[in-house]
Amino acid sequence: MSDSSGNTEGNNTSRGFLGHPKGLFTLFFTEFWERFSYYGMRAILVFYMYYEVSQGGLGLSQPIALSIMSVYGSLVYMSGIIGGWLADRIFGTSKAVFYGGVLIMLGHIALAIPGNLTMFFISMVLIVLGTGLLKPNVSHIVGDLYDINDNRRDAGFSIFYMGINLGGFISPLIVGELMRTSFHLGFGVAAVGMFLGLVVFVATKKKYLGTAGTQVPNPLAPNEKKSVIITLGVFILALAIIVPVTIRLGWLTFDSFVGVVGILAFVIPTIYFVVMYRSPKTNEVEQSRLLAYIPLFLASVLFWVIAEQGSTVLAVYADTRTNLDFMGIQLSPAWFQSFWPLFIIFLAPIFAVLWTKLGDRQPNIPQKFAFGLFFAGLSFFVILLPGYLGGADALVNPLWLVLSIFFVAIGELCLSPVGLSATTKLAPAAFSAQTMSLWFLSNAAAQALNAQLVKLYSAKTEVIYFGSIGGSAIILAILLVAISPVIQRAMKGIK
């Protein structure tokens, strides 16, 4: 039996995992293994795309590989909208997590099988759909474990967040080493990771989760189900006809597809804003708060433009511009992607204590966003210095790249958790869930924009590339500080 907050009786009072509900064990390790598989795959994916076939790769051009990686990341975040809708209207969050995990595992298995470009794109579709089902819904079940007033709730999410970063830290180290032998072996380990996550989830969910995540919050009525099935059937049939025809006519190319994704990534959040603002369910105070949210959303987009290049441009930088023979150790370029979650693990408690100690003296929300942008911009200025000082031909000390990643991690802790909190505070009451989806769309928009930007990167252009993007972030950070009083007043009492 559940209460009005969606919590399951028994779950919110049980203590079995670090003083928290036993279900947190299930979700912690499910998400740990899911992130292990995702970040392990992501750590080597761009190398797999542009390495020559003789090296075990697909032999794509480097700009195309970087662009595909960015579009893929954008679609992953967009697919969360579909995953949330399916969970809310059809089969609940628990089944969404399971189905998503199965699709992700199948996607990694497809990557693990030596094949061709067709198999590669099939795997991308499976992983995009699977992540869209699993990622938003597993976090929702964490909230279901606690009563709305349970003072363990924030700590529970912190423990869960630690599982994400532990998986993200460990997997590039393992998969990055395996890619020396075979990319497919690395992808196979990622598939095993997701399989272990599914085993943990299935084996413990009945005992530890109870009915959490099993209810469908807003189920489709019988007449709605028929309409959805017909609409879905027509959509699939239309795709089956339109895609082959447009490819044959030369209208649907990779560049045009990237362009469509880029347009959707900005059109969808714009529609979200307009619909919520104009809705009769949104009062004047909530409208003002929505307007205040817009500059925060744009700041988030620019932050993630920089941060998400860790798996694209900075991955190439690690592979081609960095001296990987460091202190007698032959580094894998994929290992650098472990530093970000490592820094988050160590810095997150420090920031939590810092904000608590500052109390009312801590920066307001727009100012924290400005700090996040500033450090992100600074990270790009750090990484342009070796090229500016030593030229495009000299290999760079890997500590420059580590320092750049360190500043991005600081920026994330100033912006990302604050953004999640601000989203819950500024969201109109009638659109609380949709506004959280809107927040994640800032990452989708950023990576869609990256799909165009990364084409401009090369060793010869890196100084102006990093300088232009990093400088834009710092300028916007200064602007955000300047207008923060205006934004704060529009928030109508939210601090």
pLDDT digits (tens, 9 = 90+) for 246-270: 878 777 777 788 888 888 889 988 9
Q: Please, which residues bridge with residue 2 across strands?
A: 8
Considering 28-42, 194-208, 298-312, the range whose residues carry the highest mean pLDDT is 298-312
Average pLDDT over residues 299-307: 94
Q: Decide: helix, strand or coil at residue 326.
A: strand
d(CA 481, CA 490): 15
Q: Which of 11-25, 198-212, 365-379 has the lowest mean pLDDT?
A: 11-25
Q: Which of 210-219, 284-293, 362-371, 409-418 has the lowest mean pLDDT?
A: 210-219
Alpha helix positions (H), 359-461: 365-390, 398-426, 432-453
Alpha helix positions (H), 279-364: 284-307, 313-320, 339-358
Give me the pLDDT at residue 218, please: 67
Give me the pLDDT at residue 15, please: 59
Give me the pLDDT at residue 13, please: 47
Domain with CATH 1.20.1250.20 in the chain: 16-219, 253-495
- Nearest-CA neighbor of 477 among 376, 348, 405? 376
pTM of this structure = 0.84
d(CA 275, CA 95): 30
pLDDT band at 153 (very low <50, low <70, confident <90, very high): low
Alpha helix positions (H), 145-182: 153-178
Helices (H) and strands (E) in the chain, counts: 15, 2
Q: Are 81 and 267 in contact (CB under 8 A)?
A: no
* Residue 252 burial class via C-beta count within 10 angstroms: exposed 0-12, middle 13-18, buried 19 and up: middle
Q: How many other CB atoms are there within 10 angstroms of residue 416's CB atom?
A: 18
pLDDT top residue among 87 and 182:
182
Which CATH fold topology does 16-219 show?
A: Growth Hormone; Chain: A; (1.20.1250)
pLDDT band at 338 (very low <50, low <70, confident <90, very high): very high
Average pLDDT over residues 103-117: 86
The single-letter code of the amino acid at 63 is: P
pLDDT band at 2 (very low <50, low <70, confident <90, very high): very low
For tokens 């199948």, the residue is 106
pLDDT top residue among 356 and 411:
411
Q: Which of 260-274, 364-378, 472-486 has the lowest mean pLDDT?
A: 260-274
**b (16+ CB within 10 A) / e for 88-109:** bbebbbbbbbbbbbbbbbbbbb
pLDDT band at 149 (very low <50, low <70, confident <90, very high): low
Give me the pLDDT at residue 398, please: 92
Q: Is residue 3 scored above 50 in pLDDT? A: no
For a pLDDT cut of 70, what percent of the chain falls above it? Answer: 91
**Distance from the Cα of residue 27 to its chain's centroid:** 18
Q: Which residues have a Cβ under 8 Å from the Cβ of 217 and sit 6 or more positions away?
A: 6, 88
Averaged confidence pLDDT in the chain: 83
d(CA 428, CA 301): 21
Q: How many other CB atoms are there within 10 angstroms of residue 281's CB atom?
A: 10
Q: Is residue 494 scored above 70 in pLDDT? A: yes
What would be the CATH architecture of the domain defined by 253-495? Up-down Bundle (1.20)
d(CA 165, CA 44): 18
The single-letter code of the amino acid at 49 is: M
pLDDT band at 10 (very low <50, low <70, confident <90, very high): very low
